[in-house]
Structure 1
Amino acid sequence: MQNPAKDNSQRQADSTLNRRSFLKDSALKSSALAAAAATPYFVPSSAFGANAPSNRVTMACIGVGNQGFPVMQRFLGYDDCQVLAVCDVNKGSNGYKEEKHYYGREPAKQEVEKHYGKQRESGTYKGCDAYNDFREILERKDIDTVVIVTPDHWHSEMTIRAAEAGKDIYCEKPLGLTITEQQAMIEAVRKNNRVCQTGSHERSNPNVMKMIELVQSGAIGDVKRVICNIGRHNKVGPGPGWKEMPVPEGFDYDMWLGPAPHAPFHEDRCLYRFRFNSDYAGGQVTNFGAHSLDMAQWGLGMDKSGPVKVKHVFAEYLPEGSLYNAPTFAHFEAEYANGVQLVCRTAEPSVRCQFEGTDGIVRIENQGRNFATIPYSIKEKRYGSDVPEVYKSNDDHQRNFIDCVKSRDEPAAPIEVGHRSATVCHLGNIAIRLKKELNWNPESEQFVGNDAATALMSRPARKTWQA
């Protein structure tokens, strides 16, 4: 099979060697500088100061659709980060979250080159490569980091391979499709000493930080209950009797499926709408829930643990045979070892997360734009000089990732934190699916006395993608 990644990597190596090798091998400096005029990657360092190419974090963005495209744009805004490549199974099309949205690898490539072109006297830049297969990106030695913003069923495969290839990783929430996958992701990241930021960006929200500080400082007294709201499905797929559709030109459907079971193509299966089919995601429980339940875990000090019980309360589905089979309405409850009750339910997500204590209430409103307290006086309280401040992640979740790639510090939402928060989502979905109350051991990460629940902690991959 032709390997464009090797061709591109070799081309760069011939003219500039490797960005890091150039710094280490003084004998090659003259040839590298001679090539600078012909390549966008090397120009005299004095022209950039602290943001010289040798100090930049190089990046590839895998998945540049509804969420991945704006995440890529935010990384483009940092002068010490250089996007060298993009990857998507879709060449380019409309029809993501909204019909007018036009995303994919070619639009992303154009966006990158337009952005960097504005910084050059010529007004043009041709230094971004576009790929259909993420494995070709992982073979490039000149790429330090990868940003994974794909459907959930791809997260573990890509993260594990990226860690093994020596890349640092920004992986969108929820961390993985299953609990077992997430455990394997942690093992790969730690074994290979990688930085991995989970895209739980509310951890970089100043309003959320303030809420967590109030909870952990005792401003609302002893926490008794946490309510986490998740939104309803915002797309309606075809019902029973839906028909297979032809795969659009420029869309690699088999690659899109990857480790998921083979299934006939329908336009409502892919792009933004993947969230509502359990082969690829966990509905709004793992979408909105990955944020609201993450806030609950953080506030309760459970970043390294989780609940001990979870139970199904209510769930509603589309008619059997519909393309979308994740719950359209979900309600589950959980309990922690200290007696705190957790409620996760489908409701208007204007209130994402609410902590209820013996002395008051604090909550995040307006989808994270502000927080409120009852009574109001709690808002300015902070008890105890010995209460540590929560992790402050600069001014942006993406900025925090770049800083940690450089410093090798832990990011705001390291992989273990993303795992624990997503695990609560998965526990809820498993309880809903079985319509049971389940006992969970957060230390061993195993269900107690329920083989059916244990079986749902993992899913077999399509043989094409089995290791």
Structure 2
Amino acid sequence: MDPKRNYTILAEVFTFTPSILRPMTGDPAMNKPDRLSRRSFLDRTALLGGAGMMVPTFIPGAVLGEGGTSGASEKVRVGLIGCGGMGQANLANTAQHPDVVVAAAADPWESRLDAVLKKYPGCKGFKDYRELLDQKDVDAVIIASPPHWHCLHAIHSCEAGKDIYLQKPMTLHLGESLAVRNAVKKHNRISQIGTQIHASENYRRVVEKIRAGFIGQVSVVRTFNVMNQGPEGVGRDPGTPCPPDLNWELWIGPAPMRPYNRILASSSYYHCSWMDYSGGWTPGMAPHIIDLPIWALDLKYPLRVHCSGGRYIIRDDGDAPDVQEILWQYPNLTMTWMCNLVNSYGFDLHGNPVPQRRLGIYFHGVDGTLYANYTMHQVVPEGDRMKDREPPPASIPPSPGHELEWINCVKTREQPSCSVFYHVRVDVPIVLGNLAYRLGRSLTFDPDSEQIVGDEEAARLAVPVYRKPWRFPEEYLKG
């Protein structure tokens, strides 16, 4: 298998100009369809099994379509909840699989829903996601709604017997994170979180080096995401009326009600400026970035979480911090996060000295430092401590593509690489960091009980209270 083919990195990469912040989708050459037949799928899973991928040693008859059943390997009928840019991109990647049928889509904004229906003839459209979940012929759903909806959309999908591809951030609260994981487990669903950078070859090579001890034992990891929106931030809405084809009540759902704001509603980039609907830029970007050290170092949960920051410069319609710094204390190392919306200095990864979004991860080992971003990594030795040391050979098999991996796992009934059972270790540190920011104090977390300890207020606030008539499903807090 060619390791460079067939994975699409749809990172939300943005460039800055004085007039607009616009998303870039990357190299179109990376978006070529993977024409994977049912026969070649079965052949390829057998090969990957020999390479150590998580596939079953046998394929059940139901998967093969035997015994009078249609079988998951015949057709997987996919629905989409949330028809914005990321949802449409995820759906397009999924639809490249020859065994995928785009069956249904749901969005409270009719014009966005119509865009999907026009692209996929035969796709049924609904303004209310619950009607989509009632469709017995939908096997799996992509959830790309605003983040405040992720928990309910995921749990209701599991209850309806649908496998889920859930865009990041997985959730906004500790209680939500645990509830989504427990719902997937209870209902025996296949899950993948939309951290598509996990599928990259660059991340694989970093993981191999760190796990092989190439830079020695790592004691500190530093991560960051920076940009410069300027004092104006995302701007101010002069009072634009709600479009007649948007059900604002349903868009808000379980979150606190507020008047329609054109900027807030426009895209996932702008959601990040409002805490109630996104949790800010830390949940917006940290899932992609801290995923790498958590994967490479096999980190579990942090023991202590500290957070500092505030809105120091930006004056826009939002309320998210323009500076946020988190320190996570693990048993054998410290990891930090730096998020800045008003200065885009990127250290060794700065590049062209103009305002733009930059991100990075630093692994500080006793023998050297490895720094990386999405597409490259570099090692800086500590003197001659790495003299004559050779990097490990490539050993992690290439990804077929993040969405395609999910579809393959829907067929094999094996959890993919970024299932909720893995990603809860990424999501929990982030939501605890935001809670520490909200309270203005550090938190202590017990990894065994998965509870905040010694702080009754924090433990209470870790479980959200939804706006009526929506209800947080507390029954899923018990694993």
Alpha carbons of 1:189 and 1:378: their partners in 2 closer, same or farther (altered >3 Å)? farther
| TM-score under structure 1 length normalisation | 0.77
Q: In structure 1, give the amino acid aligned to 2:133.
A: L
Question: Which residue identity does 2:424 align to in structure 1?
Answer: H
Q: Secondary structure at the match of 2:262?
A: coil
**Shift, 1:243, TM fit:** 6.1
Q: What amino acid is aligned across from residue 408 of structure 2 in structure 1?
A: D
Whether 1:75 aligns to 2:80 is: no
Alignment partners' CA distance in 2, 1:459 and 1:231? 29
Structure 1, residues 11-63: CA drift from partner, whole Å, max 9, x if none?
xxxxxxxxx9xx7896xx9xxxxxxxxxxxxxxx9xxxxxx997121101111
**Match of 2:265?**
270
Tell me how far 1:314 sits from its aligned partner: 3.4
Partner of 1:98: none
- How far is 1:380 from its partner? 5.2
CA RMSD of aligned residues (A): 2.7
Normalized per residue, which structure has more helix?
1
Question: What is aligned with 1:343?
Answer: 336
TM-score, normalised by the number of residues in structure 2: 0.75
Q: Distance in 2 between matches of 1:463 and 1:218?
A: 52
Contact 1:231/1:284 (<8 A) preserved: no
Match of 2:31 in 1: none
Contact 1:87 1:105 in 2 (8 A): yes
Matched, 1:453 2:458: yes
Tell me, what secondary structure is at the counterpart of 1:270?
helix
8 Å CA contact retained: 1:308, 1:440 = yes
In the alignment, the residues of structure 2 paired with residue 133 and residue 380 of structure 1 have an alpha-carbon distance, to the nearest angstrom, of 56
Q: Do the aligned partners of residues 232 and 447 (structure 1) sit closer, same or farther apart at CA in structure 2, a change above 3 Å counting?
A: farther
Look up the match of 2:404: 399
The aligned counterpart of 1:374 is 380
Q: CA deviation at 1:433?
A: 2.2
Contact preservation (8 Å) 2:314, 2:322: no
Residues 176-209 of structure 1, C-alpha deviation per residue, up to 9 Å, x if partnerless? Answer: 1211012111121111110011111122111101
In 1: Cα distance, 2:318 partner to 2:387 partner:
45
Structure 1 alignment gaps of length 5 or more: 1-19, 30-44, 46-51, 93-103, 114-126
What residue identity is the alignment partner of 2:285? F
Aligned to 1:225: 220
Matches within 5 A, 1:180-219: 180-219=175-214
Equivalent of 1:326, from 320, 325, 339?
320
Change over 3 Å in CA distance of 1:181–1:317 after alignment to 2: farther
% identical equivalent positions: 28
* SS class of match (2:278): coil
Is 1:359 aligned to 2:367, yes or no? yes
**SS of residue matched to 2:272:** helix
Q: 1:165 aligns with which of 147, 160, 163?
A: 160
Distance 2:416 2:438 in 1: 34
Q: Which amino acid aligns with 1:329?
A: V
Alpha-carbon distance, 1:254 to partner: 0.6
CA distance in 2, matches of 1:312, 1:140: 44
**1:315 touches 1:331 (CA, 8 Å); kept in 2?**
no
Matches within 5 A, 1:114-193: 127-193=122-188
Counterpart code for 1:458: V
**Partner Cα separation in structure 2 for residue 176 and residue 351 of structure 1:** 22
The answer to whether the Cα contact below 8 Å between 1:61 and 1:68 also exists between their aligned partners in 2 is yes
User: What is the aligned partner in structure 1 of residue 469 from structure 2?
Assistant: 464
- Which has more radius of gyration? 1
Q: Is residue 311–residue 334 contact of structure 1 (8 Å, CA) maintained in 2?
A: yes
Letter in 1 for 2:435: I
Using the TM superposition, give the Cα deviation of residue 344 of structure 1 relative to its aligned residue in structure 2, in angstroms.
0.2
- Cα drift, residue 81 of structure 1: 1.1
Distance, in Å, in 2 between the alignment partners of 1:233 and 1:398 is 31
Tell me which of 109, 112, 124 is aligned to 2:120: 112
Say which structure, 1 or 2, has more relative contact order (CA 8 Å, 6+ apart).
2
**Structure-2 residue corresponding to 1:62:** 81
SS of 2:110's partner is coil
- 1:314 and 1:89, CA in 2 relative to 1: closer, same or farther beyond 3 A? same
Q: Per the alignment, do residues 163 and 377 of structure 1 end up closer, same or farther by CA in structure 2, a change over 3 Å counting?
A: farther
Deviation at 1:352, TM superposition (A): 2.4
